[in-house]
Each structure stands twice: as C-alpha cells, then as structure tokens.
Amino acid sequence: MTIPSDSEAASLDSGLVRLHELGYKQELKRDLSVISNFALTFSVISVLTGISTLYNTGLNYGGPVSMVYGWLVVCIFTMLVALSMAEICSAYPTSGGLYFWSAKLAGPRWAPFASWITGWFNIIGQWAGTTSIDFSLAQLIQVIILLSTGGKNGGGYVASKYVVIAIHGGILLLHGIINSLPISMLSLLANLGTVWNVVGVFVLIILIPSVATKKASAKFVFTEFNTDNGVGINSRPYIFVLGLLMSQYTLAGYDASAHMTEETKRSDINGPKGIISSVGISIVVGFCYILGITFAVTDIPYLLSQDNDAGGYAIAQIFYMAFKKRYGHGFGGIMCLVIIAVAIFFCGMGSVTSNSRMAYAFSRDGAMPLSSLWHKVNKEEVPINAVWLSVLISFCKALTSLGSMVAFQATVSIAVISIYIAYALPIFFRVTLAAKHFEPGPFKLGRYGLIVGWVAVIWVVIISVLFSLPVSYPITMETLNYTPIALGCLVILIVSYWIISARHWFKGPLTNIDK
C-alpha cells in the first residue's frame, strides 16, 4: 500500500470536504443572499408567533412584570447563545449545522456520538417546533372563525378538536407544497415573510394602543405582577421563571441560518450574520410589541376567562374588545388577528424549510432510518422527500391533542428544551474538548469566546430545568407537566439506539471518516 504524500493527503481531505458539501454529488444551489438567509430565520423566530400564541402564559404567570423584564433577561442570555453559535457557524458552514459542529469540535474519539445525540435533539426539537407553530395557527384560525360568527357570547361557531386538527393538517399540506418549490421562489416568500413580520408588528404596536379606549398606566405595565393564576402557585420567583417560557419559546429557531448555509453565498460570513441579526432585531421588535400590546391590558382575569368572546384567548380578546368598544364592532380586531395568522403561516413555512434541510443533511450522513430516501433532491435540487417527511411527522405529533391537550402542550416545552440542548452541545464541546485547538472563521469572539460559551451552556441547563417544573398544584394526571417524562423517554431512545445499533455503523459526518 502506497502512503500518500502530504500534498496528496491534502488533496484527498479537500475532496472529502467537497464530497460532503455535495451531499454525495447532490449539491444544493447557493442562491440565498445574506438578506434571504436573515429573512428566513427572522420569519422562523417570528415575534408575532411566539408572543401572540403564548401571551396567555405570560399573563397567567406574572403578567406585565414577567413579560417585560422576563423578555430582557431571556434576551441577554439568548444573544450569548447566538454569538457562540455564530462563531462556530463561521468556522463550519454546512447545512448539517449543529450536529456537524459537534462532530468537528468533539474530536475523533467522541465525534460519532457527539454528532448523533446533537443531531437527534435538533431534528426532534425542530419537528416539535413545527408542530406547535402550525397547531397554534390552527387554534388562532378557530378563534378568528369564532369571533367572526359572533363570539362565544353571541352564538359563534366553536370548532371541535377534530376540526382544529384538520385545519392543522391543511396548513402543513400548504407548507409542504410551498417548500417543494425551487429555492429562488422560497427565497422570495421568505423575504415577503420578513416584510410582513416587521410591518405587521409595527402596525399592531401603533394601532392597538391608539384604538383602545381604556389604556393601562406605565405603572401597571412596568410594575404589575399577577399572582392570581388559579394554578395553586403563590411563590413570586417561581411564577416569574414559569413566565419565561413565552420569551424563550419566541427566541428559538435561529439555527435556520446555519441549516441554509449550503444555499447561501459566502456562508462563512453570511451564516453568522443571519443568526446574529435575526436574533438582535427580534429582540428589539419583540420588546416593542410586548409593550404596545400590554398598554391595552386593563383586566387580566377577564382576558384569561373562558367566558369572554374569544374563549380565553387573551390577545384575541384584547384586539376584539379594543375595536368593539370604540367602533361598536370587532371587525378591526379580527383583521389584526389575520395579520398575526399570516405571520405564523410564514413562520411555519420557514420552520418546515429548516426541518427539511436538517433531515437532508442528517440522512446524507446515514444517521436516519431509510437515509438514502431522505437525502435525495429533485430536479430543482430541493430535498423533496425530507420536506414531506417533516410535514408528516409534524402532523402525527399533533394527533396527541386528540387524547390530551395537557400532554400535547408539553410539545412547546419539549421544542424549546430539545432545540436549546442541540444549541448547547456544540458550544459545550467548543469550550471543553476543542478549547485549545478551535480555529474560528471570519467571525470570531476572540478571548471572550470561552466566557460567552460557558455562560450560554449554563443558561441552557437552567432553562431545561425550569421548563420541566410543575406548572400547577396539586399535581394530578390532568395538571402534570409531561415535559420531563417525554424528554426522559427521548434521551433513553436516542442513547439506546446508539448503544444497540448506531455505534457499530454511524461514524459521524463524512469528513470525520478516518482518511
């Protein structure tokens, strides 16, 4: 056997890297600019989606203080996580994103297991995220129909759980069709989604406080702490940390920039820019949105009551009531809800895009069952099978709502925790195993990289514990937080699959195969 020279070895390494980028000779087109990369990620984060759909949670657990100051707390630590991810993304721009980073940073010995566990946490978290996004849109559509037909107190139509799941399926079907289009069309729609999210937020920020005949005082917005939550929790610190879920759920999904790097020009620069800019702008826009809407809040118990016109959907009741009191009808409020619904639609669209790229990359390296099927691309070079796999799994996960809404609601926490664990793992490897040999790309944190990374990892550990805590007392089968149970089962499945089978054949991303 002839030992290759250094130049031949370098050429071989370069060839293997290129083969990984091609996805076994199936390369995705690099048609996305930094604007499009940012646009897609900003639409996935979508402050209109996260804040609007979990506004009830914020009001219930702490109210204005929890939402306003909780947002600031979460934003500080989320930006640190984003900065660490951006630094790693600059060094390793690939659609595999997080799991590829873990493999590179963990070193040859731990690379296969590191990429395995990171990849599975990431993709399962993403699927859970898409499920919760599109199901929340289905619920909002149901509320729009309810208010359009007279509201709960006016004989309005209340959709059954089967109708809601059918709407959810229809939304996913549309998202699958859209994500089957060429990347140039998807880029155009992503840009449109960004414009809609930005314009929509500012329209609502200005419109709702202006229309509301009765406004909250600044003292109420910045000092009112709601402890009347009806869930048996009286501890203010406990209530406050439970209220953080709204903010943390909103500021998730920015790994979409990383998953789209193989379709992004100058990805080692534009990928990190997409992550940081989307998080930074979302922080500012989200804070303005929270303040604008909360200034229209005057009666928290009524907004959360199942007996109001919106059936307890707080933000819908705020909009509907503001217009009804001023104009005698709530049509304007319903149109405001339509603005949010379209924003959520774009968010779900981008989420499916991110899901499919992750599934494409993960299967490209043989990590998923039937991998050869999921990493195929069509003539438009879109990973079509991965798109429809993501749609199908997201629909199946929502079927749990037919049995127990309490169990289904854990999907939100699971999405946040799983995704953030996937964010934290490569950062953890970067500050431990790779601390001395990490070679940053064009974007780098310099001497602050290790400090920022450690704080980011600790924050993820904290929120993983917080969002697994009981949210209601006394604890019964109807009030149990199923998040730790589901998360525990997930860990057991991932690790067991590794021990029993995957450790024998999964070697990590292609560039980590022994050369």
Structure tokens at 370: 């039937």
Q: Percentage of residues in the chain with pLDDT exceeding 90?
A: 45
Other CB atoms within 10 Å distance of the CB of residue 192: 14
Mean pLDDT of all residues in 86-112: 85
Q: Assess if residue 14 is contained within a domain.
A: no
pLDDT at 34 over 70: no
pLDDT at 19: 33
User: Could you give the CA distance from residue 253 to residue 232 in angstroms, rounded to a whole number?
Assistant: 32
pLDDT at 24: 34
Structure tokens at 307: 């007996």
Confidence class for position 138, pLDDT limits 50, 70, 90:
very high
> Which residues have C-beta within 8 Å of that of residue 427, sequence separation ≥ 6?
81, 84, 85, 88, 453, 456, 457
Q: 238-283 pLDDT, tens per residue?
A: 999 999 989 998 888 777 666 565 555 666 777 788 888 889 989 9
pTM, full prediction: 0.84
Q: Assess if residue 33 is contained within a domain.
A: no
81 by Cβ neighbours in 10 Å (0-12 / 13-18 / 19+) ranks as buried
Q: Assess if residue 10 is contained within a domain.
A: no
State which H helix or E strand residue 213 sits in: none
Q: How many domains does the chain have?
A: 1
Mean pLDDT of all residues in 296-310: 91
Confidence class for position 4, pLDDT limits 50, 70, 90:
very low
pLDDT at 44: 73
Nearest to 43 by CA among 343, 338, 280, 412: 343
Q: Assess if residue 381 is contained within a domain.
A: yes
- The enclosing domain of 208 has a CATH number of 1.20.1740.10
Mean pLDDT of all residues in 156-182: 94
Which range marks the domain in which residue 233 is found? 38-504
CA dihedral defined by 208, 211, 216, 219, rounded to 10 degrees?
A: 70
pLDDT at 194: 82
Confidence class for position 10, pLDDT limits 50, 70, 90:
very low
Q: Assess if residue 9 is contained within a domain.
A: no
State which H helix or E strand residue 251 sits in: none
Measure CA 357 to chain center.
15
Q: Assess if residue 7 is contained within a domain.
A: no
At 71, the amino acid letter reads W
For the chain, the average pLDDT equals: 84
Measure CA 412 to chain center.
9
Q: Assess if residue 329 is contained within a domain.
A: yes
Minimum mean pLDDT among 177-181, 215-219, 448-452, 508-512: which range? 508-512
Q: Assess if residue 22 is contained within a domain.
A: no
> Which residues have C-beta within 8 Å of that of residue 46, sequence separation ≥ 6?
197, 250, 343, 344, 346, 347, 350
3-state secondary structure of 144: helix
User: Could you give the CA distance from residue 165 to residue 151 in angstroms, rounded to a whole number?
Assistant: 21
What is the 8-class DSSP label of residue 509? S
Mean pLDDT of all residues in 441-469: 92
